[in-house]
Amino acid sequence: MRHKISCLYILLVCLSSFPATADNLLQLSAGISFWNSTPDGSFGETADSVLTLDKKSAVQSSYYLTIEHPFPLAPNIKLSKTATSNNSSSTLDKTFVSNGSIFRVASALDVTADYDQLDVITYFEIFDNRTLELDLGITFRQHSIHTQVTNQNDKSESVSNKVSDLEVLAYAAGKVNLPLLSISAFIETSVVNKNSYDLQAGVSYEFDATKLAKTYLQVGVRTQTFEFTNLDGLYTQLDWQELFVGVEVRF
C-alpha cells in the first residue's frame, strides 16, 4: 500500500508540473452542507447475523476547510468532517451477539449508531483556468463507528461497540465555471472500489454577501457507501443518497 501511495504521489507531482493557470496567492475556503438522511445500514459480528437500521430521517452535516498555495511540488490540503447518526428499534428473529453479549430471539432492542468521518485530502491542481478545473490526489479517511444496543425490557442488557479504521482512497474533483452567469457545476469523489466510495455533484451560485470574500450557495446530490467485513471483529455496512444544500466562503 505504501509503495502504491508513493507511486501515485510521484505521478501527481509530475502532472502538476505542467502549467496550470492557477492563482499565485494563498487561498482559503470553508464550507458547510446539510442533508436529510435516510440511510440503509446494518452491523454485527458476522455478515449473516446483523441488525438492520431503520430508515429514519434525520438532518446530517458536513463541513470542510481548504488551503491552496502557489507551490507546485507541494499538495494542497482539504480537511473535511462528516457526521451521521441513526436511532432505531428491532425485534430479533434470531440470536444476536455484540461484543460478547447475547440477545435472545424475540428481544426488542433499541439501537443507536453514530458514524464520524474525518478526511485529510492532499491534492494537486492538474488543470485550472477561468472555465475548467481538475484536481487529483489522495484521501486519508478516518472512520469512527459507535453503536449502542439496549434491551427495551431490561436496560441492564446493554452493550456498546466503538471501532475505527484508516482508509486510503483515490481523490478527484472537477468544476466547470460560467463566470458571466456566476454559476459553476462541480463533481467530487473519493473511491477505493464499489464497496467504498463517496460522490457528490451539484451546482453553485456566487453572490455578493461581503467584499471580504466570495460566497457560494451550493445545491446537489451526495451518495456514499462503505462496507467492512471485519473491522475489529465487527461487520458494518452503510449507504445513502440524498440532496444537500451548502454554503462556501472563499477568501
pTM of this prediction exceeds 0.75: yes
Count Cβ neighbours within 10 Å for each residue of 209-239 and write b for 16 or more, e otherwise: eeeeebbbebebebebbbbbeebeebbbbbe
Contacts of 211 (CB under 8 A, 6+ apart): none
% of residues, the chain, pLDDT over 90: 37
Q: Which of 72, 226, 101, 246 is nearest to 164 (CA)?
A: 226
User: Which triple of cell numbers denotes residue 166?
Assistant: 484508516
Which 3 state secondary structure label does DSSP give 179?
A: helix
DSSP state of 195: T
What tens digit of pLDDT does each residue of 152-207 get?
Answer: 888 888 888 888 889 999 999 999 999 888 999 999 999 998 889 999 999 999 98
DSSP letter assigned to residue 181: G
Helices (H), the chain: 2-16
> Residue 57: its pLDDT value, please?
66
> What's 2-250's CATH class?
mainly beta
DSSP state at residue 70: S
- Res. 209 pLDDT band, cuts 50 70 90: low
User: Where is pLDDT greater, at 29 or 240?
Assistant: 29
Per DSSP, the three-state class of 238 is strand
What phi, psi does 14 have (nearest 5°)? -65, -45
Cβ proximity of 10 and 17 under 8 Å? no
117, three cell numbers? 468521518
